[in-house]
Amino acid sequence: MSNADAAAGTGDTGDTGGAGASGADDAAARMGTLSELVAYHNHRYHELDDPEITDGDYDLLVRELRRLEAEHPDLVVEGTASQDVGGAPSSLFAPVVHSVPMQSLDNAMSAEELTAWGQRVARALPDETVRFVCELKIDGLAMSIRYEAGRYVQAATRGDGRTGEDVTANVATIGVVPKQLVAAKGAPVPEVVEVRGEVYLPVASFERMNEEAAAAGERLFVNPRNAGAGSLRQKDPSVTAKRDLAFWVYQLGEVVGGPPLARHTDSLAFLRALGFPVNPEVKVFESLEDVAAHCVHWQQHRHDLDYEIDGVVVKIDDVEQRTRLGSTSRAPRWAIAYKFPPEERTTVLRDIQVSIGRTGRATPFAMLEPVFVGGSTVGVATLHNEDQVRAKDVRPGDTVIVRKAGDVIPEVVGPVVSMRPRGTKPWTFPTTCPGCGTELVRLEGEADTRCVNPACPFQRDQRVIYFASRGAMDIEGLGERTVAQLTSTDPPLVRDAADLYSLDAEALLQLEGFGQVSADKLVAAIDGSRTRPLPRLLTALGVKHLGPAASQALATEFGTLDAVMDAPAEELADVEGLGPIIARSIATWCSLEANRDFIDRLRAAGVDFGVPVPRTPKAPQVLAGKAVVVSGTLEGYTREEAEQAIIARGGKSPGSVSAKTYALVVGDSPGASKVTKAEAAGIPILDAAGFAHLLETGELPDAD
Ligand code: IVH
């Protein structure tokens, strides 16, 4: 199969749910194509560690094939790709036949599919209590590790589920994998024990690897999973040893001897007692609603972890119930993988262009074939800066991986080199500004390229757009297109944001697309923005480094725009959460004649500049330089108030525990991982009373 076929097949399945197979002939043909595609991408993923499409795209192919198989059972061909568990072992490593096959898991892609699985379980186990164990689905490389008489003897990849690859020497380099098991906490060491889990690369290590690759001018790794799999499947284990791989265990394979284990949670406790790294985020529920809520929780918090997860695995705890449920040909019925919506998809890069921001920064961005990823359709994605485009070497015409994770803006991760059309050339950064034609400047040691012409029409438009944006003055209906219309009339209706306040409906009616209703609406929206609170106005000014949080802090401290404008830099730097860089930037901005004139015109237009505040004395800075982490709910404080109380005393309140943490304050239902981490690092853990003492004195309460 050619790359072009693969691309066409992927595209077909896109958002349309696949080519509709009207007749049996169509269905058979589509099933044949899909089966080939799945086999091909399986091979690239499992055997070459070089996937051409993302997991999200792959899942769509498999699901379409399975759907057609379910609709047309008579057309299912024996040994079709939808039954495959993984890849065939490569010739690089010796084969290992698994004594207990390594099964795969069925996926639930939505809450409804999770419920349907729960209903199947309930039907098979009527009137029985079922305990569901929820574990994180680690996005790594499945591994089976064998111990005989307590000694590490073999490590094997999953391969096709029956036969994997012998990677004993490579896995031996992973520090957290025990080499000798010792009986502990009443857990005897079995004669033979095989543990199954996931080898993974922590996100921080992945980022470090990519920084090093970029510095060396080498190709970047697309994600931690690929970088981890590539690091592991090295002929030379000394390369693996340098890669900082880690391991989580989640299952037993063959066991000879050892204690009886009636529940999965018993196995996990046993594994932990033997010294294996078992992920701490394990929860047991008796209702499927709680399971679903837990899945949604992790979907929202997946990026709080320092390793990647792509779902939650739900397993039935009781081993005897598991036996009765049994397995299908490819996966157990007693477990399901709730998969998060994909954050990465492949699509075609149509063009690379450069946008000019309000500070003149030139940002390259990708124009894409629109693709549904991370919960929305993405047609444009950032490429950050010149070095990033060079390191990724993405070219117009390439099939690229697009990532949209959480609230982060979509980005192009990298090209699928094997699908590159012939005759493309590396993209080069333009030398002149697309807005004003001025030569672009990149200063020594800086990552950004800039247009330094303050009169650049693109910069001016961006400043107006930013002024009106939702996080600033929030003027509905004043988007990019309207601003461009307003600034390009002759003479311009708008030269800067202050001119907005002199617009009337009559002026707007000259513009294409405006009628009386829309013109009146925009004038009313602009008028309404005159009374926005001061933090929004401060943000809207577009001062470099001055974002919404610092604007809020300034407004609280000074009350009015005039008080901010008149404050010397040292006084600004003293405001909590500001610091010298923002302070200097504000002071410089305020000292410029043109900016003072702009402010005067806003005042003349009747924009609200705030009300003076009585200056409150500062709390004693007893926590200066100290990091205090808060977890759980503390009586008498919202989480924000607790953090504010720390900050008000000169401290910091980061979201996670590290070696630098001074103390961890715990209320009701604290995060288990924070507590475990603090305990392990010997960091003092305080309750509400301890917190009160800390705020008053800056000291830790006595240990007793
Ligand atoms: S249990 C028979 N638990 O996901 C059940 N698998 O898509 C065996 N995975 O093959 C798997 N985290 O490579 C299990 N907590 C977890 C997991 C997990 C990640 C992987 C594993 C498995 C694949 C299925």
Q: What is the pLDDT of residue 616?
A: 61
Distances from the Cα of 684 to the Cαs of 495, 632, 654, in angstroms?
57, 16, 16
Cβ of 250 less than 6 Å from ligand 1: yes
The answer to whether 698 touches 649, Cβ cutoff 8 Å, is yes
User: Which residue's CA lies nearest to atom 9 of ligand 1?
Assistant: 137
Q: Can you give the pLDDT at residue 370? A: 96
Instruction: Kindly indicate the confidence band of residue 80, based on its pLDDT and cuts at 50, 70 and 90.
Output: low
Give yes or no for residue 216 having a pLDDT over 90.
Answer: no
Does residue 142 have its Cβ closer than 6 Å to ligand 1? yes
Distance from Cα 248 to the centre of ligand 1, integer Å = 11
- 482 ligand 1 Cβ < 6 A: no
User: What is the number of the ligand 1 atom nearest to the C-alpha of 135?
Assistant: 15
* pLDDT of the residue at 84: 54
319 is written with which tokens? 């081993």
CA of 250 from ligand 1 middle (Å) equals 8
CA of 281 to the centre of ligand 1 (A): 15
Model confidence pLDDT, tens digit, residues 124-137: 999 999 999 999 99
Q: What is the CA radius of gyration of the chain?
A: 30
How far, in Å, is the centroid of ligand 1 from the Cα of 225?
14
**Cis peptide bond prior to 491, omega within 30° of 0:** yes
- DSSP-assigned states of every residue in 558-572: H-BHHHHHHS-HHHH
Q: According to the model, what pLDDT value does residue 11 have?
A: 34
State residue 215's pLDDT score.
83
Binding site membership of 371 for ligand 1 (Cβ less than 6 Å): no
pLDDT of 3 above 50: no
pLDDT at position 512 is 94
Give backbone dihedrals phi and psi of 354, rounded to 5 degrees, phi first: -120, 130
| pLDDT of 6 | 33
Asked if residue 498 has its Cβ within 6 Å of ligand 1, the reply is no
Encoded tokens for 51: 């996937």
CB 519 within 8 A of CB 508: yes
In percent, how much of the chain has pLDDT > 90? 70
User: Which pLDDT value is given to residue 4?
Assistant: 31
Q: For position 28, what pLDDT does the model report?
A: 86
Dihedral sign for Cα 612, 616, 617, 619, please.
Answer: negative
Q: Tell me, what's the pLDDT at 499?
A: 97
Q: Over pLDDT 70: what percentage of the chain?
A: 94
For 177-191, 291-305, 494-508, 570-584, which range has the lowest pLDDT when averaged over its residues? 177-191
pLDDT value for 76: 78
Ligand 1 atom 21: residue of nearest CA: 142
List pLDDT tens digits, range 595-622. 999 999 999 999 999 988 776 667 788 9
pLDDT at 420 over 50: yes
Ligand 1 centroid distance, CA of 634 (Å): 37
Average the pLDDT over 553-561 and give the result: 94
Ligand 1 closest atom vs CA 136:
15
DSSP 194: E
pLDDT of 22 > 80? The answer is no
Query: What's the mean pLDDT in 14-25?
Result: 48
CA-nearest residue for atom 16, ligand 1, is: 137
| Ligand 1, atom 2: closest residue by C-alpha | 103
Helix, strand or coil for residue 17? coil
Q: Is the CB of 399 under 6 A from ligand 1?
A: no
483 lines ligand 1 (CB under 6 A): no
pLDDT score of 8: 32
pLDDT, position 529: 97
Give the mean pLDDT of the chain.
90
pLDDT at 626: 94
Mutating to test ligand 1, I would choose from 42, 232, 250 the residue with most ligand atoms within 8 A of its C-beta, which is 250
Residue of 615 and 368 predicted with greater confidence: 368
CB 553 within 8 A of CB 578: yes
Please give the pLDDT value at position 87.
58
State in Å: Cα 136 to ligand 1 middle: 9
Residue nearest to atom 4 of ligand 1 (CA): 137
Annotated active-site residue in 137, 315, 652, 674: 137
Does ligand 1 lie within 6 Å of residue 631's CB atom? Answer: no
Return d(Cα 508, Cα 515) in angstroms, integer.
8
Task: Determine the pLDDT at residue 124.
Answer: 96
Q: Best mutation site among 45, 63, 105 for ligand 1, i.e. most ligand atoms within 8 A of its Cβ?
A: 105
| Residues constituting the chain | 704
pLDDT surpasses 70 at 89? no
Neighbours of 94 (CB within 10 A): 11
Ligand 1 and 332: CB distance under 6 A: yes
Structure confidence by residue, pLDDT tens digits, 497-540: 999 999 999 999 999 999 999 999 999 999 999 999 999 999 99
Average pLDDT of span 534-552 = 94
283 has catalytic annotation:
no
Of the candidate ranges 50-59, 103-112, 573-582, the one whose mean pLDDT is the lowest = 50-59
Average pLDDT for 687-695? 92
Q: Is 487 a residue whose pLDDT tops 50? A: yes
Residue 139 CB less than 6 A away from ligand 1: no
pLDDT at position 74 is: 81
Query: Of 66-80, 301-315, 617-631, where does mean pLDDT reach its minimum?
Result: 66-80
Tokens of 672: 């288990």
* Cβ-Cβ contacts under 8 Å for 384 (sequence gap 6 or more): 363, 364, 411
pLDDT, position 12: 34
Q: Which helix (H) or strand (E) holds 354?
A: strand 344-356
Atom from ligand 1 closest to the CA of residue 141: 13
Local confidence band at 21 (pLDDT 50, 70, 90 cut-offs): very low
> Ligand 1: distance of its center to the CA of 105 in Å?
7
Cα distance between residue 56 and residue 375, in whole Å: 12
**Residue 648: phi, psi to the nearest 5?**
-60, -25
CA of 251 to the centre of ligand 1 (A): 9
Would you state the pLDDT for residue 510? 93
Confidence of residue 83 (pLDDT cuts 50, 70, 90): low
**Predicted pLDDT of residue 10:** 36
Q: Dump pLDDT digits (tens) for 425-470.
A: 999 999 999 999 999 999 888 889 999 998 899 999 999 999 999 9
Does ligand 1 lie within 6 Å of residue 138's CB atom? yes
Residue 257 has pLDDT above 70, yes or no: yes
Q: What share of the chain is helix, strand, coil (3-state, %, to 5)?
A: 40, 20, 40
Q: Is the CB of 135 under 6 A from ligand 1?
A: yes
Q: Which pLDDT band, with edges at 50, 70 and 90, does 60 fall under?
A: confident
CA 336 – ligand 1 centroid, Å:
9
pLDDT at 59: 83
- The Å distance, Cα 179 to ligand 1 centre, comes to 23
Alpha-helical runs (H) found in 349-385? none
